[in-house]
Structure 1
């Protein structure tokens, strides 16, 4: 779940909270009119209690009620695994979620001391926060509406303490009528720590030659009581392999250039700015008739797609040769038309170009392009769909890589990621290993070892990727 999804999920519960706040405030003033002489209620504390209730509704909504029951019995007891995952993917979305999990609990730490003087105690706020967070995590685990994660407990607690330190600095300054150094230091210590942490991570990341590999695990696969059977021979010799670079990976300039070209070519108006869709980017366009189109840019490999919201299943009557020529001229002028591509007409509205698959990437060490371009035509002279799956890769040099045997040892030690983790008693059978390639987070096309095999059943095939560059 990215930050946009979180914010979208928050909105309904914020509306409910505002409604409850208004109703309770109306109830307060009605109570004051009829019962004020007999009972006294402090208005400020009453407001703080209502705010705490509203906050609780929003938190419960986004962490449990807003989710489908699809995580039954899942838990992650690996502390700081979210940081490892964010680092491996160098993911803005995952960094944002870490911050969001802390910010979400700041109001708890702020409101507790304002509701009752006993809550000015650090230990009391700490215990209340941990108990409340544990209740949410346990409910998620039991209901299947989330994963029990130690990192969530950590981040929620840090967020609540950040709010507590902040409000206590204000309270103590008001009570003593002067600024106190120690409370101010506590109030800014948590924000400064995380700014420094992410700053240091950025410096280290920018200093390293290559990017990170997103497929690397945030925690090791538990290989206890997992039977691993090897049915292929492995080489124990190290070697060298070529490394390539694709400048379009995570290239915001390329996104803007393509979007401007599409808008100009098809006479479309861009609506709004660049929107984040997970790790990808998306732009919205509209034509003179109000029809909507989307451009999606895949940051991990530099591919992109253009699609119509008004796609018709019924094939329109189109002049294929005329539209083909127009599109070829446009892409060629923009330097996007794949050279040496083989053209074919797939059906009465779909055309495509294919580039020959690059071979022997490990040793040839030369620039290469690969991929395909598929276009679904329409009778509006604006394609219903464009899939631009073409990569241009420049040779960088050669790097020493580990042997197949060393990669296999990493596998048996659990240094890999599977969508469905292995369970006790499983049998993992490895039938083949090949040297493959994948893009890292900086756009380098790195060599990796790909082990293929099965789990328990020969039909239950799996692929396991292991980094080849040590």
Structure 2
């Protein structure tokens, strides 16, 4: 989730909070005008203005938390739990996913205001133990509601993160009190009260260093916990080769800037505007005769150029061979490998080529589809490229099929949610289950650093389901 997406999401959630706090502040203003300022100096007020304002902010904060955790959420996780401590962070590391890490950080930040506001509102919450008790109880109450209502999972990680957030807020409160009291910032107080963000920062810094030192990226298929295979009836029908194998690793090469520059040069287009969403980009271009095109480019390297106002019509060419040669010439000019691809179809003036997805050892290769769309007069109305350019890196040693089977025996694999009909119970490996391995075949997938790496696809029958499969990192 990008910074812009986060801002827009928080803006939507913030509107009800602003309305609630605004109404509360109107009542506070009325209290001040009609009672507080008119009382005699000796008369003790019903409530201090500080507590009223803090109370209004606290209520707004509670509304915000309820919107995030309770209000308007679906019911797709009824009675589901994730009791693995720090499982979310381990999974985020396995995927090296910023979005996954953000979820943990958001859960910490969500409870920071509670750790600040409670001790400001009441002296009894200036005792750390009482504040901690409230934070933990509030978190457990939210998790319990989500579990029984189906609004979310009961996750130990959420309890840990929310508690850390409450403690962090309390530490920030203590730091502010220390600065106000001593009229200066004490280094000891600064370090002790910023211990949690310092530790989190060091942790992420160390993870970043380790990740960048690795040759290859992370594979999301790597399981972060083991299944207990005791009592599971596991078998295999094929004979498994115990000898290790080797396979190539490739690197996806994405050339966004080169593609845009090449299109502008070859088709004589001028760029008018550019929009970006994370790693995706959309550009508006115009030709020298005023025809507008939209160029979309994805993070993976796929791109499409389409004429904005053109509606494809049934094309009937008087000389189809020359039109095919024209389409080939356009593709060749843009570096699309027609000489290595097979022409699949021609429909409404759109020529579609397809490349083999079989990696070739010791050489670069292309995979995917691309197309060129021509009007009857031979001019271009659209070009699309789903081609992946994979550069050969080196050969690596692989696990043998027998070693892969041993990993299944040890429970080191993921149960893959391959469709929405599978329930959580069907994805839990437990005593009495039947798993028969029918085959182990080599395939490839991209890791988090865009390396195209060999993985094993293990297929079989699980409790009568013949479509079961899992993926296991093939690297030794």
Deviation at 1:61, TM superposition (A): 1.0
Q: Secondary structure at the match of 1:371?
A: strand
Aligned to 1:251: none
Q: Which of these residues, 40, 51, 58, is aligned with residue 45 of structure 1?
A: 51
Secondary structure (helix, strand or coil) at the match of 1:441 reads coil
One of 389, 403, 408 as aligned partner of 1:406: 403
Hey, what does 2:296 align to over in structure 1? Answer: 295
Match of 2:356 in 1: 356
Shift of 1:457: 2.8
Whether the 8 Å CA contact 1:271–1:283 is kept in 2: the answer is no
432, 445, 454: which one aligns with 1:438: 445
State the shift of 1:87 in Å.
Answer: 1.6
Larger deviation, residues 318-327 vs 62-71 = 318-327
Question: Please, which of 70, 76, 84 is the counterpart of residue 64 of structure 1?
Answer: 70
Q: Which moved more, 1:344-353 or 1:25-34?
A: 344-353
CA distance in 2, matches of 1:69, 1:352: 43
Shift of 1:53: 1.4
Tell me the TM-score normalized by structure 1.
0.84
The structure 1 residue matched to 2:280, chosen from 279, 282, 293, is: 282
> C-alpha offsets along residues 332-361 of structure 1, whole Å, 9 cap, x if unaligned?
3443445411223243254311123426x5
Quote the offset at 1:270 in angstroms.
6.3
CA deviation digits over 1:237-284, x for unaligned, max 9?
223222222233xxxxx23443555577585756554212xxxx3223
Alignment match, 2:120: 114
Distance of aligned partners of 1:433 and 1:381 in 2 relative to their CA distance in 1, 3 Å threshold = same
* Correspondence for 2:457 among 445, 450, 460: 450
In structure 2, relative to structure 1, the CA distance for the partners of 1:266 and 1:116 (3 Å cut) is farther
**Equivalent-residue separation in structure 2 for 1:415 and 1:216 (angstroms):** 8
Alpha-carbon contact 1:245-1:445 (below 8 Å) kept: yes
Greater C-alpha Rg: 2
Structure 1: runs of 5 or more not aligned:
249-253
**Cross-structure match for 1:138:** 144
Name whichever of 446-455 and 368-377 sits farther off. 368-377
Matched, 1:186 2:198: no
One of 361, 366, 371 as aligned partner of 2:363: 366
Of the structure 1 ranges 239-248 and 148-157, higher mean CA displacement relative to structure 2 is found in 239-248
Residue 124 of structure 1, CA deviation: 1.9
In structure 2, what is the equivalent of residue 258 of structure 1? 259
Q: Which runs of 5+ in 2 are unaligned?
A: none
Listed one character per residue, the Cα deviations across residues 352-371 of structure 1 (whole Å, up to 9, x for unaligned) are: 11123426x5xx43332222
User: In the alignment, is the contact (CA less than 8 A) between 1:342 and 1:354 conserved in 2?
Assistant: yes
- Rounded to whole Å, the distance in 1 between the matches of 2:70 and 2:291 is 38
Q: TM-score, normalised by structure 2?
A: 0.83
Identify which of 198, 201, 205 aligns with 1:195.
Answer: 201
* Matched-pair contact (CA < 8 Å) for 2:436–2:460: yes
Cα distance in 1, alignment partners of residues 438 and 277 from structure 2: 43
User: 1:111, CA displacement in angstroms?
Assistant: 1.3
Partner of 1:237: 243
CA contact (8 A) 1:270 1:283 kept: no
In the alignment, does 2:21 pair up with 1:15?
no
Does structure 2 retain, via aligned residues, the 8 Å contact 1:338–1:390? no
Contact 2:77 2:153 in 1 (8 A): yes
What is the match of residue 252 of structure 2?
A: 246
User: How far is the alpha carbon of 1:315 from its aligned partner?
Assistant: 5.0
Q: CA deviation at 1:168?
A: 1.0
User: 1:4 offset after TM fit, Å?
Assistant: 6.2
Structure 1 residue 376, shift from structure 2 partner: 6.3
Paired residues of 1:243 and 1:396 also in contact (CA < 8 A): yes
How far apart are 1:290 and its partner, in Å?
12
